Structure 1
């Protein structure tokens, strides 16, 4: 992947071309049409499948039904559901109408749902039975919500049924998509992770989505050419309400690749699905990588069909990458780096392990700089600082929060990521941790992700998370929450000594070790450190 470094700015290769009509809806419409009677999606739990033609027909039927209900260009339509066939159809129907899709995490609390509704003010809401009651309770008194549309067959809340709306057959050739201004018009509002507070609504345009699809095509075609293999079947596990899961799945479908999807993660189901369908490609998050590296079930299944495994959402240690390869025969776990504010992927490692631990080089048309946290100076290779990104994938802004949008961007158009990292002399990037999550011990910066990667190398550690314990003299002390391997005997002093033997003094676990059954994470796999801090606070109070 051609990159250049000039004046301490790392630039990706030449930008990829996107369709001149600048309509993401038209782009997907054409790709679905091209897929014809080829299988598009298979539900791993049920074995049911749909073709590209069926998705296209149902999405056109639904688009016309939504317009009959009063959906106009620019109207927001919310969608909260687990992965299921209806999710894709509903999303595309909204986009065909020039509407704005707003996806909500199915695990959101009523407070988080109300917060997003307040920002987006949806006209219609699609939902599934598992979250319908919360959605109804949070929307029933909102004047802007006209209808709730329910997936499935059971009348769990007052709503109209999705199945009724797709019944009327529309001639696809007579259907015209609503015209959009691809550069300016918002196609979706995707929620930021909300790992440090309430989620924000990230406005992404048609051009953002089109560019991401062009980049995904570039990454996949380049990798297949380099490795001399073919991707025929992909596995989609990341929830589609999350930007990572939604955009990557749609982008892969636009290549007319068969997608097998899982409704939820189940250890045996996940492994069995890869083996049964001979899955070639999947996207994962670090906790799933740890599962592949450490869980006793994994060696019992044949996973060798997997030749493209991409990991994102949080840093993945090189030790875990190596362990997976040794254990499963999967050649290499590719790391990528991105954030919702720049339409996900900013970097992807297209080598075959030559830069292990790296998340790759900048995407086409992208510029990245690393700034000193204190002085703001642009840093050279191997110097850690905050990553800033300038890209055609940059968001339009946060919906309803212009001040936060403006604060995120500098005068040159670079977006502040809040991530700490560095690049090497070849322009390959390495992510260290989140700026807000760095622990300050006597003025020294301690990256939780580094300590977590080290702890995960311990044979009897199944999972872990590191946060700061406030300390009057030192400022903050690193404390580790640890999940032991099933049946394993672990002592606090053993792990404290293990870490001390492998890191500099500032990084020792002076805050101690707390053994737990589970590490709280969001659906994209990021450790919810705020929950760990709450657990730590509760433990401190209980001792007082």
Structure 2
């Protein structure tokens, strides 16, 4: 049963300063170096399932989702009826409030059904992905212990092997046909006829009911299960950015394994937008979808994915004018990729946001200020802390970003120690990211505290070196880490993917860096050339794998 243990409950997480005075320009306020978003009046005393059910009902026979490869589609009415039917099936086999189900699949038209069905019966959704390495996959299965797993065909092997090693017996339901396991269609036919007698689960205290256990990226250690409550999701859905989303279809490559994939899908169900379910990320496929789409689009990509799109050698062969909004998030966007995005998507508004799984995804309202990741979302407090003194810093002083508000996670599932390290007694989430606010309360992120290292007592931020490397036209991708050294503390080591047809050498790259960076920011740890960098299922560079390489 997935419930919030007593030590996770902290009323101060939702305790916000009521005396803030709004800033006229961006509606944020500053009190004792705490930057606060505006107040939000929103519906609270219900579940995500009951809320989305009403929204699906209101959109009727409009198209809800499209498979851009096959052209197949489903309507909001289709999704409502099938998810209700599946909810009855789950209830008939004994799955209900607090039970965990897993979904392990790339995007398809049916992947939303078990998610909605689980929320209708009060169950918790724990997403997985087959591209995880076996130890990470097993770890997530071991802590969540799902009662049933819905998956696509390519995921069967890693699931079966992991379950066998853990000695767990779990039923698999397959999206599509399978000769060995039960299909989703077969499950529906066997366990239920209709969902007419199902009333979606509701709750009066959504902040204390877990809706999702979403894995962290696992870029530096084993992934942890982040508990996202119904209250977290409800607040997000009702915190609308000052953007007209009507008549926009949403193209996102994120699967349900990521909080972005979950939120994008639910946002489309809420607003009535068409969700374009792209397959696994491929620059050529994404560019073709944008080129061929007949309506206006909002494109949602991580900064890593966006950099791959703008670096794609054939991107100029496609018409990108249908893209009206580009939303990006994740690691900092390099100078060269920022400029390329503005040039290639010249009919679109570029919105750069900040967030993590622990903040229920993006938790800033993007602004048009270049390189800023925006201002705090409604009911959100942020402050910059000096890691040495613990003092809240003023404008233009970098330090660790702390966040408190209604979208902060309840904790890490079955991991009290990590929860207590991330959430302090006053409800502040310690992000581990380095950033600062300018005089207009706009947030800028410089990198991760855990990535920073010291070379001969001089602090080095990897992103600063990566940004310069990516400015060279023969370098396609770059990642810098600090390699421990007895004499110097740590030395910068770069993993580089050359551009197509490039033969640039280590000597030339080092010569290039000498003209752009100070001596202590040089690549004293060397350079490793790779055909491609390792990535997590959510599109972040897997630094944990790079650290293990010789």
Counterpart in 1 of 2:231? 207
1:390-447 alpha-carbon deviations (Å, 9 max, x no partner): 0101111111111221221122210111111111111111111111111211222211
CA offset digits 1:176-224 (Å, max 9, x no partner): 1123341211111001111111111111110011111112xx11xx123
1:239-250 → structure 2 map (5 Å cutoff): 239-250=255-266
Q: Distance in 1 between the 2:417 and 2:394 partners?
A: 31
C-alpha contact 2:352 2:372 (8 A) present in aligned 1: yes
Return the alpha-carbon distance in structure 2 between the equivalents of residues 328 and 413 of structure 1. 39
**Per-residue deviation, residues 281-319 of structure 1 (Å, max 9, x unmatched):** 011112222223322211110101111111112211243
> Which residue in the other structure is 1:269 paired with?
285
8 A Cα contact 1:271 1:303, kept in partner:
yes
Give the Å deviation of 1:144. 6.8
Of 185, 202, 207, which residue of structure 2 is paired with 1:163?
Answer: 185
Task: Compute the displacement of 1:356 (Å).
Answer: 0.9
- SS for the counterpart of 1:503 is coil
Specify which of 284, 289, 295 is matched with residue 312 of structure 2.
295
Q: Distance in 1 between matches of 2:347 and 2:455?
A: 39
CA contact (8 A) 1:496 1:512 kept: no
Paired residues for 1:404-415 under 5 Å: 404-415=418-429
Does the Cα contact within 8 Å between 1:496 and 1:513 map onto a contact in 2?
no
TM-score, scaled relative to structure 1 = 0.92
| Conservation of the 8 A alpha-carbon contact between 2:173 and 2:187 | no
1:383 aligned partner:
397
Higher mean alpha-carbon deviation, 81-90 vs 508-517, is at: 508-517
What secondary structure, in the 3-state scheme, does the structure 1 residue paired with 2:110 have? helix
1:37 aligns with 2:61: yes
Gap runs ≥5 in structure 2? 1-25
Provide the rounded CA distance (Å) in 1 between the counterparts of 2:348 and 2:177: 44
Aligned residue number for residue 17 of structure 2: none
Q: RMSD between aligned alpha carbons? A: 1.8
Closer, same or farther: CA 262–206 of 1 in aligned 2, 3 Å: same
User: 1-side partners of 2:517 and 2:110: how far apart?
Assistant: 50
Aligned to 1:335: 352
Task: Count matched residues.
Answer: 521
Q: For residues 316 and 300 of structure 1, what CA distance do their matches in structure 2 show?
A: 24
Tell me the distance in 2 between the aligned counterparts of 1:116 and 1:343. 19
Aligned to 2:487: 473
Q: What corresponds to 2:88 in structure 1?
A: 64
Give the CA deviation at 1:145.
Answer: 4.4
Matches of 2:146 and 2:119, distance apart in 1: 14
Give the Cα–Cα distance (whole angstroms) in 2 for the partners of residues 176 and 302 of structure 1: 46
Cα distance in 2, alignment partners of residues 275 and 52 from structure 1: 26
1:451 pairs with 465, 470, 479, which one? 465
In the alignment, the residues of structure 2 paired with residue 526 and residue 330 of structure 1 have an alpha-carbon distance, to the nearest angstrom, of 27
CA displacement at 1:330 relative to structure 2:
4.0
Residues 398 and 435 of structure 2 are in contact (CA less than 8 Å); yes or no, is this contact kept in structure 1? Answer: yes
Distance in 1 of aligned mates of 2:62 and 2:338: 34
Instruction: Pick the aligned partner of 1:5 from 15, 30, 40.
Output: 30
Determine if contact 1:122/1:144 at 8 Å carries over to the other structure. no
Q: 2:147 aligns with which of 115, 123, 140?
A: 123
Deviations 1:47-75 (A, max 9, x none): 11111110111100000011001112111
- Aligned partner of 2:4 in structure 1 is none
**Structure 1 position 140, deviation (Å):** 4.7
Task: Within 5 Å, give how 1:79-118 maps onto structure 2.
Answer: 79-118=103-142
What's the TM-score once normalised by structure 2's chain length?
0.91
Between the aligned partners of 1:137 and 1:515, the Cα distance in structure 2 is 33
CA distance in 1, matches of 2:354, 2:513: 27
For the residue of structure 2 that corresponds to 1:358, the secondary structure is: coil
User: Match of 1:179?
Assistant: 202
The alpha-carbon distance between structure 1 residues 142 and 448, as it changes in their structure 2 partners (threshold 3 A), is: closer
Give the CA deviation at 1:231.
Answer: 4.3
Residues 401, 432 of structure 2: 8 Å contact kept: yes
Q: Partners in 1 of 2:149 and 2:202 — Cα distance? A: 23
1:541 alignment counterpart: none
**1:223 matched to 2:211:** no
- The answer for the alignment partner of 1:314 in structure 2 is 331
Aligned to 1:286, which of 279, 303, 318?
Answer: 303
1:542 counterpart residue number: none
Moved over 6 A (4+): 141-144
Structure 2 CA distance, aligned partners of 1:205 and 1:420?
27
Bigger CA drift: 382-391 or 277-286?
277-286
Partner-residue secondary structure (3-state), 2:208 = coil
Unaligned 5+ segments in structure 1 are 539-544
CA distance in 1, matches of 2:268, 2:311: 29
Counterpart of 2:20 in structure 1 is: none
| Counterpart selection for 2:451 from 403, 426, 437 | 437
SS of 1:25 mapped into structure 2: helix
